[in-house]
């Protein structure tokens, strides 16, 4: 499954901040989730997708 995590910035109430290097931070309702973009491939690993999904459910 390919998921473009950066595309989540269209979700209302979700702020996406680009960090140094491959770091991306998501902020929602006072919570923060920081992950790194996948490299060298462009596919997100299942555990990253799971973290983001659980974060969005908050």
Question: What is the model's pLDDT at position 1?
Answer: 41
* Token representation of residue 21: 């290097």
Question: What is the model's pLDDT at position 14?
Answer: 83
3, pLDDT greater than 60: no
Pairing, β 31-36 against β 23-28: antiparallel
pLDDT in tens, 5-50: 656 666 778 888 888 888 888 898 899 988 887 777 777 778 888 8
Domain limits for position 18: 5-57
Number of structural domains found in the chain: 1
Question: H-helix or E-strand containing 47?
Answer: helix 46-57
If phi > 0 it is left, if psi is from -120 to 50 it is alpha, else beta; for residue 30 that is left
Alpha carbons within 13 A on the beta-carbon side of 42: 4
Question: What is the model's pLDDT at position 32?
Answer: 92
């Amino acid at each position: 499954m390919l998921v473009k995590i950066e595309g989540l910035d269209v979700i209302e109430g979700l702020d996406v901040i680009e960090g140094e290097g491959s770091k991306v931070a998501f902020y929602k309702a006072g919570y923060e989730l920081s992950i790194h973009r996948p490299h060298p491939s462009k596919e997100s690993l299942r555990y990253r997708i799971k973290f983001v999904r659980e974060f969005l459910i908050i």
